[in-house]
């Protein structure tokens, strides 16, 4: 009787046994410090939502809770700025960190700003048609979710963290612009400055930012910004002016400096293609711009 063993070619590839799988390779890598920043980001988003719900806008000083919520949204922007950079500096980028960061961003920069604008502005603007206010706020939230999902898909297919460019306006910057504009309007209202029809600006900005987040307008990520480089004169100049304004203006920095700062970044995406490559390198490392244009399927969130 023949005892011939079937050829591996005829029976196909053999699945690896559980004992042959290295448990270290199968374990999801969760790095402490970067995810700690992301957890702080998510915590700030939750607290912001809580303060928005607790706010009694009809009582005296009712905007105090809203102001705290705005502060937590801006603090979440700062924490989000550091989590990815800490991961890259430590060489501990991971798919878990990217997914966790997107979930936190959706709460802190998607749900919180949308709910904030509806509570402060939209419900008063569309008194007779409250469903319109909810619909406008939901557009922003859905656009933010779409943008984050698109970023994760592109980063996964590219096998990297997303390269040197954002495709579409980043959702943390969008939330920062919404929060800073809302803070400015509250400040002007408390100073008895008649806002009037200017309150209609915020819903328009919300819809415009929704479109910008899902657009193909490119923005620098500043991921490769070399703080030791000697050719970043303009960056150093703006950083010095910004720090000086913080010292001089102190509390007013939140009201009159942050809105223009986020607005400049928003506009920069439109004028960036018309700026010389040398000038762009003063703001961010754009060495691969030509390669990205030649290879549009490359890593770009």
Q: Where are the domains of the chain?
A: 29-294
Model pTM?
0.76
Contact 280, 234 (CB under 8 A): no
Q: What is the mean pLDDT of residues 2-19?
A: 48
Better-predicted residue by pLDDT, 218 or 94: 218
> How high is the pLDDT of residue 130?
82
Q: Which two tokens stand for residue 105?
A: 């961003």
- The alpha carbon of residue 65 and the mean position of all alpha carbons in its chain are separated, in whole angstroms, by 23
> How high is the pLDDT of residue 233?
61
Q: What is the mean pLDDT of residues 148-155?
A: 88
The pLDDT-based confidence of 147 (bands split at 50, 70, 90) is: very high
Q: Interhelix angle for 201-213 vs 258-271, to 10°? A: 40
Q: Note the pLDDT tens digit of each residue in 158-184.
A: 765 556 678 899 999 999 999 888 888
Cα dihedral 267, 269, 270, 272 in deg (nearest 10) = 110
Q: What is the DSSP string of 181-240?
A: HHHHHHHHHHTT---GGGGGHHHHHHHHHHHHHTS--EEE--TT--TT-S--HHHHHHHH
Buried b (16+ CB within 10 A) or exposed e, 7-24: eeeeeeeeeeeeeeeeee
Q: How many residues does the chain have?
A: 301
Q: What CATH number should be reported for the domain whose range is 29-294?
A: 1.20.120.1760
Q: Which residue, among 205, 223, 222, has the nearest Cα to 267 in the 3D structure?
A: 205
Average model confidence (pLDDT) across the chain: 76
> How high is the pLDDT of residue 289?
44
Q: Note the pLDDT tens digit of each residue in 30-84.
A: 777 888 999 999 999 999 999 999 888 787 767 888 989 988 998 999 899 888 7
């Amino acid at each position: 009787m023949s005892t011939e063993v079937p050829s591996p070619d005829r029976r196909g590839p053999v699945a690896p046994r559980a004992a042959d799988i290295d448990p270290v390779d199968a374990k999801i890598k969760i790095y402490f410090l970067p995810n700690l920043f992301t957890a702080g980001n998510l915590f700030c988003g939750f607290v912001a939502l809580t303060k928005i719900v607790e706010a009694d806008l009809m009582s005296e000083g009712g905007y105090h809770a809203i102001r705290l919520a705005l502060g937590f949204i801006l603090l979440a922007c700062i924490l989000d700025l550091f989590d990815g950079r800490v991961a890259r500096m430590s060489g501990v980028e991971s798919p878990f960190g990217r997914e966790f960061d997107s979930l936190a961003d959706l709460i802190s920069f998607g749900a919180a700003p949308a709910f904030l604008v509806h509570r402060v502005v939209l419900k008063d603007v569309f008194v007779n048609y409250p469903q319109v206010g909810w619909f406008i706020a939901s557009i922003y939230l859905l656009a933010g979710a779409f943008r984050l999902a698109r970023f994760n898909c592109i980063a996964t297919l590219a096998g990297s963290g997303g390269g040197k460019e954002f495709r579409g306006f980043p959702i943390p910057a969008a939330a920062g612009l919404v929060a800073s504009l809302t803070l400015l309007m509250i400040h002007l209202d408390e100073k008895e400055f008649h806002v009037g029809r200017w309150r209609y600006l915020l819903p328009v900005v919300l819809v415009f930012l929704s479109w910008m987040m899902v657009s193909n307008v490119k923005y620098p990520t500043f991921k490769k910004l070399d703080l030791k480089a000697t050719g970043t004169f303009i960056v150093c100049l703006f950083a010095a002016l910004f720090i000086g304004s913080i010292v001089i203006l102190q509390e007013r920095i939140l009201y009159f400096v942050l809105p223009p700062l986020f607005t400049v970044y928003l506009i920069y995406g439109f004028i960036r293609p018309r700026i010389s490559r040398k000038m762009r390198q003063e703001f961010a490392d754009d060495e691969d711009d030509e390669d990205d244009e030649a290879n549009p399927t490359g890593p770009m969130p």
